[in-house]
Amino acid sequence: MKRREFYLQDDQSNKYWTVEVQGKEVVTTNGRIGAKPRETRASFDDAGAALREAEKEVLAKRRKGYLEGDLSAVPEYVQGLPPRFVRINHDDYHAQYVGKTAGGDQFFLTFPFVPRLGSETGGEYIALYLFDEFGLLKEAKVYSEHEQGLTTKTAIQEFTAQLLAGLGKYKFADIKVAPFSVERFGRPFGLIFDPGDEDDGNDEPYITVTVEPGNYMAFNPPWDGDYDT
């Protein structure tokens, strides 16, 4: 395995990790981006065993949120970055439809809305977000209840069941996913990060990740799955 480089930059971290297989050895380095690296070497019985160990370590780092990329191209760290992950704990309220597919993907089916206020026409939506096992958004499907002709609670439940059935085998479970924003119907949808206002008089800005539109789930540090409504 040639040298592979990974980094983690979020609201708490600014660090890197590299891995390389040299014969029967796995060579890794790690540290804060810009600091002197710490090197570790581990020896194995043969090159195959070393490669398997390196791939195992890569998988573990990816699951912790590390992204692969050229370290020389990583931007300078700044304050106010979003969290790498937001945990969404399965419950019987707004997080009723979160879980994992048999293929290892994660999903979040939810019901964004825009209130009818003033000149705003408003609208109700059904959104199905699909993430890979590392929490990165793969696909966002957003449907207008009006355009789909979903005028009753029963119709909405049946449409929801069809979306879930399209996932194949799945189970409801807690998930960890990255904040994101996509534009649909002329407005942003997603788990949208707000870095807060440093000029609001507080020592620390009030940072949140909210489900939009509708702002009906608001997550805060330490991003452990609890949310306000």
Cα 108 to Cα 214: distance, rounded to the nearest angstrom = 16
Closest CA to 35 of 14, 56, 55: 14
Specify the pLDDT at position 196.
Answer: 85
Specify the pLDDT at position 7.
Answer: 97
Specify the pLDDT at position 121.
Answer: 76
Give the neighbor-by-neighbor strand order of the sheet with 208-212: 180-184, 187-194, 208-212, 218-219, 227-228
Specify the pLDDT at position 79.
Answer: 87
Specify the pLDDT at position 197.
Answer: 75
Residues of the chain with pLDDT under 50: none
Specify the pLDDT at position 117.
Answer: 81
